[in-house]
Amino acid sequence: MTAETEKARLMEYIVSDLARGKGVSRLTDSDDLVGSDIMDSLGIMKLILFLEEKYAVKISDDDLTLENFSCVNSIYSLLESKVCA
């Protein structure tokens, strides 16, 4: 997977689903998703399910830190570490 393509896919999912109704029309890959209230706790759970289904990876308990979900860059890094593992 190419980084830019996958980050764009993640941003599209977050904007169209997780941030729906929150007045967010576009994101950058470094926008703070959690601190700016774009994603709440249930949103993170949804994102985990999305990642596991879409990329056939397993997000383990050790991966569940807010840092890993704080922005698109960190989500991509987590994903990349899983796909390449």
- Neighbouring C-alpha atoms within 13 Å toward the C-beta of 85: 12
Q: Is 65 in the site for another protein (CB under 8 A)?
A: yes
Instruction: Single out the residue of 69, 80, 4, 79 nearest to residue 33, CA to CA.
Output: 69
Instruction: Single out the residue of 35, 31, 36, 26 nearest to residue 72, CA to CA.
Output: 31
Site for another protein (CB under 8 A): which residue of 4, 35, 54, 81? Answer: 35
**Segment lying near another protein (by CB under 8 A), choices 3-11, 22-30, 33-41, 74-82:** 33-41
User: Where on the chain is the footprint of another protein (CB under 8 A)?
Assistant: 17, 20, 32, 34-35, 40-46, 48-49, 52, 58, 61, 64-67, 70
